[in-house]
Structure 1
Amino acid sequence: MKRCMGADDAVLSSPAWRYRMLHVAHRTATDTLLDKHGVKDFGHPFILFLLENCGEDGSFEMQKELSKRLRISPASVTAALKALEKQGCIVREAQESDMRRKRIRITDKGREVALRYKEVFTEVDEAMYRGFSDEELRAVSAYFERITQNLRALCEQEDGQC
């Protein structure tokens, strides 16, 4: 393999670099399988997962609730919901008590797409952790949790939201 100009072995073997390469490989594998399963163009799998698995009767009262659960901006949720609604994966229904408030509900098509997403993510996870013992999986999970906590602490320290 050709060396990069100025590449430092310590950098290329660092956990941060390896994480970046893992992220790229994971994204590539996921995109390949999403395309194979015909759901690459739907986007927003976690909104569909939340609606399917966490919402009351496959629905949420407000976009703000989704935003908080997903840790993304309300504007991003609004854009994602518009796209999902256009694709027929969700419907937004006005509430009788307040017509400005919309209940977000997953449709049968949305459930089908969510199921295909779940199949893809399961396949990627199985491939990613192939050959790992239960003990190794617990250790990796604990490391990821610590890294997540460290990054959230950094965000809070900088008055950000993670």
Structure 2
Amino acid sequence: MKGKLDDSASKSLHRAFIRTSKMHRKVCQHRFQELGLTEGQPKVLDYLHHHNGCSQKDLAKHCHIQPATATSLLSHLERSGLIYREANQEDRRITNVFLTETGFEAQKQVKQTFCEIDECCFVGFTKEEREEVLGYLNRMYENLKRRES
């Protein structure tokens, strides 16, 4: 059938995604453990770097985590001195989240780590091949996203 992958090709794509995803996650977890960060915390630090002072609710939504998970992650980050939370001045029901100076430094290490892992993933790739891979992955994501809607 035109436009459809045969069964062996689709399984092969599935296996490639799973294998690559697991290895990427393993490398990331190891590197972030060395920085004293647990799973989920790097993406929270990265989001706060770009949205410092956002609401706890928005942070959970944009990091694709449940509110209870966000509360737990933020409590740990707060105890570690990487963030602080304040009640919103206009609506006391809202809690805003901010990076501390230590949090900004940790986020720089997170960014550096992601860049190093990206470089490791792309060893032996030309600039054009890197762009193609990212383009293909983004197109696949959009295809799947459209199917979900």
TM interval, short-chain normalised:
0.7 to 0.9
Q: Return the letter of the residue paired with 1:59.
A: G
Say which structure is richer in helix.
Answer: 2
1:5-52 deviation per Cα after TM superposition (whole angstroms, max 9, x unaligned): xxxxx479711101111112212222232234x334474111111111
**Aligned equivalent of 1:160:** none
Which ranges of structure 1 fall in alignment gaps of 5 or more residues?
1-9, 157-162
Q: From 33, 36, 48, give the equivalent of 1:35.
A: 33
| Runs (5+) with no aligned partner, structure 2 | 1-7
Aligned length: 142
Q: Using the TM superposition, give the Cα deviation of residue 90 of structure 1 relative to its aligned residue in structure 2, in angstroms.
A: 0.9
Cα RMSD after superposing both structures = 2.3
What TM-score does the superposition give when structure 2 sets the normalisation length?
A: 0.81
**Which residue number corresponds to residue 97 of structure 1?**
90
Give the secondary-structure state (helix, strand or coil) at the position aligned to 1:92.
Answer: strand
35 and 80 in structure 1: CA distance in 2 versus 1, 3 angstrom threshold: closer
- Give the partner amino acid of 1:130: V
- AA paired with 2:94? R
Q: Out of 41-50 and 129-138, give the one that drifted further.
A: 41-50
Indicate which of 44, 63, 69 corresponds to 1:70. 63
**SS state of the match for residue 66, structure 1?**
helix
Alignment TM-score, normalising by the size of structure 1 = 0.75
Aligned-partner residue type, residue 39 of structure 1 = G
Report if aligned partners of 1:47, 1:66 keep a CA contact under 8 Å in 2: yes
Give the secondary structure class of the aligned counterpart of 2:90.
coil
Q: 2:24 aligns with which of 23, 26, 32?
A: 26
